[in-house]
Amino acid sequence: MSSSHDDSRPPGRVRLTVDDLLPTADVPLPQVDLTTEPEVFIGSDYVDKAYSLLLPEYGRMDSSSKRVRPMSFVGFQGAGKSRMLKELSKKLREEGIPAIFISFGDETDYDVDTEGASTPLADSLNLRLAWAAATDDARARVARAANVDVDKLNFTMWLEHASINERTAYEWLNHQPCVTDNRTLKYHRQPCVLLIDDLNRFATVKRGERSKAVDRVGAHLRCEFLNEVERHIVFAEPNNVTTVSDGRSLLEMLQKRHLLRPELPFIKENDLEQALKWNVTRGAICWAGRSPGLVWEMCQHGGSLEARVGRVSSIDQSTIFEADAVLCDVVLTAMEGMGASGYSRPHIGNWSTLLNVFDEERTSYNRRYDYCHLLPPCYLAGMCASLAQWDALKEKVDESFCEGLNAVASSLRMLNHAEDGHQWAGPCTAAVLMRLLQGELKHLLYVGVGYFNEIPPQVGTVLPDSLIVPLKWDEQAMGCKFGGYFSSSEWSNTEDVVKAFAKKYASLPSAKPGCVRQPIVFSARLSSLR
């Protein structure tokens, strides 16, 4: 950004100088709010992985042949993106790398209609940097201007009573005074990793002057934190929706700059002892997608995780073709990790914010078809139940199909509600039903693939084997309904049934008319958590 910004002091504001800002190595680390987050963090190995990916990028200069890749934490709502940023900042500090955490949410929330209407975008960014790096004396002066005690000073008051121009912010980062070994004074660029939470709130897509301003701020961030050695930027984004302006990502230029997207934490076997201290069952952990953030939220704050599906939905249920597309992409995403197009983000409206996102290489999205999406059981159940109620969808599929969707939802809920030892039957039943639904889609809507694709192995960290092992559809069994039933002379026990449905490229027996008196309940070991 330009360094020719007006240096005049805005009326009633304290104009901050370089002396009012701490060196980047001394900026306080972000605090963890123990009223909303657990004291013990689950996922230190994921932080170590993110650090190992970041370090080579931090140590090199950007070039046209090999661009420095910014890092992004992406995942479903409640997946713990903010906590990962905070834990990574702590890890960086422990390794001697200065880190600054700023946020456009929570305490320093950005509102495009209020702050966005009164404060230039560059000032909004720099004032958050100054809020994080301000000295005690600077805070005291701003508090006096706001006529409050310094311990009562909040960010809203800071916005109203503090100012920092672009030149000051630039000089703070790039002209920090230091004394050399021979006691001469010189200036140097400060090393720094900038971690930004809720960047999407700030870089909203708007036309006109705001779009130009977003591009300008993005260019500034790239110039200051990606183009030079010992600088880097890490941010959190909602799901797979990279903040964009005029078709370009804020931090990507002409689609030549890729992102590092490390995996967010999952509760593993060695984490169970800590997780179970939260008064939660193994089944409930799987219901929440084995996400420490969702499990903690469910245990501490109550409420239904499944209810989020209704709260975030913005899909027009009256549009028949859209209902078709949503149905297909929900089913295919649940079973194969991607929508009907094979490589793009599933066409499920705002429900996409409830997906988790994986990369085959666990490093970057260098190719579009590397995308892999995961639906936690709590969100998949809500989507299936919602889809079953859509009038527009009922015009295209029959009643038994909607009954199947409801059965999937009910089966998945067993993870959270069934007694210990019985909850594992739920996802296995849902696995069989979802495979039948997937085959039925081709018959009813003339969509879908001829053969079921294999699920990327990352999905297996959350879902049971019986759900993720692919099947080959038996054309002779096409059109089977949920009113029918399956039987085989080769099945002598439940294990035989599960293996028959889970075996790769297996053929299913033909469906027989009628129904059994008692529904068959499948049970199997949930991988690594039973």
Three-class DSSP labels, 148-171: CCHHHCCHHHHHHHEECCHHHHHH
Answer yes or no: do 155 and 31 share one domain: yes
How confident is the model at residue 292, as a pLDDT? 93
Answer yes or no: do 311 and 243 share one domain: no
Cα–Cα distance measured from residue 464 to residue 431, given in angstroms and rounded to the nearest whole number: 9
Answer yes or no: do 479 and 356 share one domain: yes
How confident is the model at residue 339, as a pLDDT? 64
Answer yes or no: do 209 and 134 share one domain: yes
Closest CA to 373 of 78, 85, 74: 74
Is residue 255 one of the residues assigned to a domain? no
How confident is the model at residue 482, as a pLDDT? 36
Is residue 156 one of the residues assigned to a domain? yes
Is residue 527 one of the residues assigned to a domain? no
Q: Which of 249, 271, 292 is the last residue of a domain?
A: 249
CB-side neighbour CA atoms (13 Å) of 430? 30
Q: Which amino acid is it at 189?
A: R
Answer yes or no: do 325 and 243 share one domain: no
Question: Is the four-CA dihedral 491, 493, 494, 499 of positive or negative sign?
Answer: negative
How confident is the model at residue 374, as a pLDDT? 80
How confident is the model at residue 371, as a pLDDT? 60
Answer yes or no: do 191 and 330 share one domain: no
Other beta carbons less than 10 A from residue 145's beta carbon: 16
Cα–Cα distance measured from residue 3 to residue 9, given in angstroms and rounded to the nearest whole number: 16
CATH of the domain at 162: 3.40.50
Is residue 286 one of the residues assigned to a domain? no
Answer yes or no: do 229 and 326 share one domain: no
What is the domain extent for residue 69? Answer: 14-249
Cα–Cα distance measured from residue 275 to residue 349, given in angstroms and rounded to the nearest whole number: 32
Other beta carbons less than 10 A from residue 442's beta carbon: 17
Is residue 526 one of the residues assigned to a domain? no
Nearest-5° Cα angle at 11, 9 to 14: 55
Is residue 114 one of the residues assigned to a domain? yes
Answer yes or no: do 228 and 341 share one domain: no
Is residue 451 one of the residues assigned to a domain? yes
How confident is the model at residue 448, as a pLDDT? 44
Answer yes or no: do 240 and 311 share one domain: no
**Overall number of domains in the chain:** 2
Answer yes or no: do 239 and 330 share one domain: no
Cα–Cα distance measured from residue 60 to residue 227, given in angstroms and rounded to the nearest whole number: 9
How confident is the model at residue 165, as a pLDDT? 92
Given a contact cutoff of 8 angstroms between Cβ atoms, the answer to whether 432 and 522 are in contact is: yes
How confident is the model at residue 204, as a pLDDT? 63
Closest CA to 527 of 451, 431, 436, 439: 431
Answer yes or no: do 245 and 310 share one domain: no
Is residue 407 one of the residues assigned to a domain? yes
Q: Which amino acid is it at 147?
A: N
DSSP 4: -
Closest CA to 128 of 119, 137, 118, 136: 119
Residues in the chain: 530
Q: How far is CA 291 from CA 41, 73, 397, 448, in A?
A: 12, 14, 34, 30
How confident is the model at residue 77, as a pLDDT? 76
**Structure pTM?**
0.77
How confident is the model at residue 241, as a pLDDT? 43
Answer yes or no: do 230 and 371 share one domain: no
Tens-place pLDDT, residues 34-83? 878 889 999 999 999 999 999 999 998 887 677 888 898 888 778 889 99
How confident is the model at residue 212, as a pLDDT? 72
Q: List, run by run, the mean pLDDT of 10-residue segments along the chain (530 residues).
A: 49 90 96 86 95 94 81 84 96 98 88 80 93 98 96 95 94 79 73 92 63 78 89 82 42 64 88 90 90 88 78 61 80 76 67 71 45 83 92 82 91 85 82 80 57 49 43 35 54 67 57 39 29
